[in-house]
């Protein structure tokens, strides 16, 4: 896997528990470095985002939280998501209005997402040359880029292989 691939499409046959454990450990480290606390609420929301490698919507998170006991208050969940997003622990996919965990919150990166419109799988890339190109083009127009994210729709390898097998 090249450096520009942050997260490949994930197949179902892997040890997902260790993905979650690693994500929580990284979150601890990121929060400590930022001088902030990974409160139980934030930790729980992050864990729920990481329950799968598919993007998850805020209201699905609310539902998951509510079934695990008392009803979760929407503002708490939104605040937790906002915290996680700012810390780089999750990304918000604008086209889906959904969130996905980032496996590399330790490095600053712009993100390019490949989104499978069939199964919802997402891969994340960080291609510096693409970012540089966008920056250069923007500069020519006197535009300063604050945040850059590219979302590309298509069909993932697994879905295409399934098609080919039919
Ligand atoms: Zn996993
Ligand atoms: Zn990321
Ligand atoms: Zn797919």
10 CA to middle of ligand 3, Å? 10
Q: What is the pTM of this model?
A: 0.89
- The answer to whether the CB of 98 falls within 8 A of the CB of 57 is yes
Q: For the structural domain made of 12-102, what CATH number should be given?
A: 1.10.10.10
Q: Which ligand is nearest to the CA of 10?
A: 1
H-helix or E-strand containing 155?
none
69 CA to middle of ligand 2, Å? 31
Q: Which ligand is nearest to the CA of 115?
A: 3
Written as six digits, the tokens of 89 are: 């622990």
Q: Which CATH architecture has domain 109-166?
A: 2-Layer Sandwich (3.30)
Q: Who contacts 60 (Cβ-Cβ below 8 Å, separation ≥6)?
A: none
40 CA to middle of ligand 3, Å? 33
136 CA to middle of ligand 1, Å? 36
Half-sphere exposure of 85 (CA within 13 A, CB side): 15
78 CA to middle of ligand 1, Å? 24
User: According to the model, what pLDDT value does residue 68 have?
Assistant: 57
Write out the chain's pLDDT in tens, 166 residues: 456 889 998 877 889 999 999 999 999 999 999 999 999 999 999 999 999 999 999 999 998 888 656 677 788 899 999 999 999 999 999 999 999 999 999 888 888 999 999 999 999 999 989 989 999 999 999 999 988 889 999 999 999 999 888 7
Give me the residue spans of the domains in the chain.
Answer: 12-102, 109-166
């Amino acid at each position: 896997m090249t450096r520009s691939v942050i997260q490949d499409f994930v197949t179902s046959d892997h040890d997902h528990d260790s993905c979650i454990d690693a994500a929580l450990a990284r979150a601890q480290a990121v929060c400590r470095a930022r001088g902030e606390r990974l409160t139980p609420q934030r930790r729980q929301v992050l864990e729920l985002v990481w329950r799968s490698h598919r993007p998850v919507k805020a209201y699905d998170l609310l539902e998951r939280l509510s079934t695990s006991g008392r009803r979760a208050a929407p503002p708490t969940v939104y605040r937790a998501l906002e915290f996680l997003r700012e810390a780089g622990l999750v990304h918000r996919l604008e086209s889906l209005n959904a969130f996905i965990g980032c496996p590399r919150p330790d490095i600053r990166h712009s993100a390019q997402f490949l989104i499978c419109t069939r199964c919802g799988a997402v891969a994340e890339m960080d291609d510096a040359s693409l970012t540089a190109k966008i920056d250069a083009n923007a500069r020519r127009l006197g535009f300063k880029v604050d945040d850059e994210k590219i979302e590309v729709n298509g069909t993932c390898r697994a879905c295409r292989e399934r098609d080919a097998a039919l």
